[in-house]
Structure 1
Amino acid sequence: MAELPALVVAAGWGLPTTTGSAVVDDSDRDRLLHGAGRDRLGGLLAAAVGDGSVVVSADLAAEVTATWHEQLAASVTVECLVPPVADLLHGAGVDWRLTKGPALAHLDYPDPSLRPFGDVDVLVRPGQWQVALDALAEGGWVRVSPELAPGFDERFGKGATLTNAVGLEVDAHRRLAAGRFGLRLDSEQLFEDVEWLELGGRQVPCLAARDRLLHACFHASLGGARRLRAFRDVAQLLLMTEADWEGAVTAAERASVQAVVASAVVETWRRLGLATEHPALDWARGVRVGAVDRRALRLFEEERSYAQQALTAVPDLLGRGAGRYLWALAVKPGHRAAAPAPPRTATHP
């Protein structure tokens, strides 16, 4: 189903776009509120209603404001998790970065209330993964799903979702994505620079703007829900923050993940109806994506299962652990004790 025009206008609010304005009648009320709630577009939609870019009835305007305020309350609750999480990780000597939600809201948007979020995302430096998980466990954070196999996270995995006693989430990342492209990008390079944000009296380390852009592109192209806000983040970093896109491209090309960045940039312009030109768009339009990368991207675009997305890494792992990787994906952790040992072949170094 095509995006509701009013949501596209809201997602592009404050950016140079061609979407103009939109009028919402009563028949689209539920679609508008559902979309704003699902994608946490409450702040941008409220701003668009406020300046007349999105025209709604007085009653619907009140409901939009209520949706935004609910999202703000949830964001404040989640943001309060950052200082104690920072204390746990710093106390264990872990090098980490805050990314996505709170980092983008405070560092890249003119008003953090425009960019609500629902969880805390942290990227952990390679080699410190288990130390980080142990530190979070001591603070009461429980992993939702077990590791697929001992050592799988560090060698192959994207990360883990952890929850506390009241069901709030911290997403700990070892890599920026599952599968082919996540394995190609060495997360170590994302720790070369840091940008600091003060939250709750703590100095919190965040990804540098160039790396926030890289992560935003990964989320837009490879995220579990490739919705309007993900593309707004890419546009925000390129057009408003003016992040070092050439540095992001250099890092992507070095890791052979330029297809991810190019796809995200081109689709950002298409989904948001951006009117302005940008050198990053010129670069993205000129990227030639190979057939294997194109097929892999399509699996993420179609939001296929985790297993299908993870299998995109297999061609890159042939001779470098493909057998053990496939074994871990095939055997459910709960059944692992009863399963026979994987065969020993040359692909199991």
Structure 2
Amino acid sequence: DLDAVWDAGQEFAIGGRAVRALSLPNRFLHACYHAALGDWPLRLGSLRDVAEMLRVVDGNPEPVRRTAASWGAEAVVAAAVADTVRLLGIKVPGELAHWAVGYVPCRRDESWLGLHTTPDKTFAAQAVATLRVLPWRDKPAYLRALVFPDASYTAARHRSPLSRFTYALREVRKGSPTGSR
């Protein structure tokens, strides 16, 4: 729900102008998404962001846990926090970190996290996985954009629509948990 992302935003001033930022729980979830699903191997800078914000949100973890649950992002938050604790060697400071370190994702969430946390991750496999979770009303537009992307986007990448399609098939197979390696 994109509107809910900005519902409880916080205002601050830059150069005398009011700017709206995401709320603290939403900023923390953004940092967790970036840390857990961004680059592989994990970037220490992204983990640092999680660690810095964890110091603040761990004192009142319920808004973060509630938002993560409503977004279906518990596995993302748990992975980001647990990786931060493990890789940066920080002490498990509070309730949210303790929860994250002990969190066991369901098989589906583990599979989806796996699409982002392997050296051979592919955008094609991630795009197909995204299709599974989109609301039905959004699937046609998403599929159309995948199958018929803007010409300026594909011009320098593939010789023809057929070469783009065969490339996508190879990438999906390479990046899927059950694909050929």
Give TM-score, length-normalised by structure 1.
0.39
Question: Cα distance, 1:256 vs. partner?
Answer: 1.6
Q: 1:311 aligns with which of 125, 128, 137?
A: 128
| Mapping for residues 248-267 of structure 1, pairs under 5 Å | 248-267=64-83
3-state DSSP class of the match of 2:116? helix
1:214 alignment partner in structure 2: 29
Distance 1:242 1:291, change over 3 A: closer
Distance 1:241 1:248, change over 3 A: closer
Counterpart contact for 2:11–2:18, Cα < 8 Å:
yes
Q: Deviations over 1:99-155 (max 9, x none)?
A: xxxxxxxxxxxxxxxxxxxxxxxxxxxxxxxxxxxxxxxxxxxxxxxxxxxxxxxxx
Asked if residue 239 in structure 1 is aligned to residue 55 in structure 2, the reply is yes
Letter in 1 for 2:44: L
Counterpart contact for 2:58–2:93, Cα < 8 Å:
no
CA–CA distance in 2 between the matches of 1:334 and 1:298?
31
Counterpart contact for 1:193–1:208, Cα < 8 Å:
yes
CA–CA distance in 2 between the matches of 1:325 and 1:227?
29
Counterpart contact for 1:234–1:268, Cα < 8 Å:
yes
2:11 alignment partner in structure 1: 196
| Mapping for residues 5-154 of structure 1, pairs under 5 Å | none
Q: Which has the larger radius of gyration?
A: 1
2:169 alignment partner in structure 1: none
Question: Cα distance, 1:269 vs. partner?
Answer: 0.4
Counterpart contact for 1:210–1:243, Cα < 8 Å:
no
3-state DSSP class of the match of 1:332? coil
Counterpart contact for 2:131–2:139, Cα < 8 Å:
yes
3-state DSSP class of the match of 2:113? helix
Q: Aligned pair count?
A: 153
Name the one with the larger strand percent: 1
CA–CA distance in 1 between the matches of 2:31 and 2:145?
28
Counterpart contact for 1:237–1:243, Cα < 8 Å:
no
Q: Deviations over 1:182-210 (max 9, x none)?
A: xxxx2322222122222122121111222
CA–CA distance in 1 between the matches of 2:75 and 2:58?
21
What is the alpha-carbon root mean square deviation over aligned residues?
2.7
Name the one with the larger helix percent: 2
Question: Cα distance, 1:295 vs. partner?
Answer: 1.3
1:268 alignment partner in structure 2: 84
CA–CA distance in 1 between the matches of 2:80 and 2:143?
28
Structure 2's unaligned 5+ residue stretches are 155-159, 162-181
Question: Cα distance, 1:240 vs. partner?
Answer: 4.8
Letter in 1 for 2:105: V
Give TM-score, length-normalised by structure 2.
0.71
3-state DSSP class of the match of 1:197? strand
Distance 1:322 1:284, change over 3 A: same
1:114 alignment partner in structure 2: none
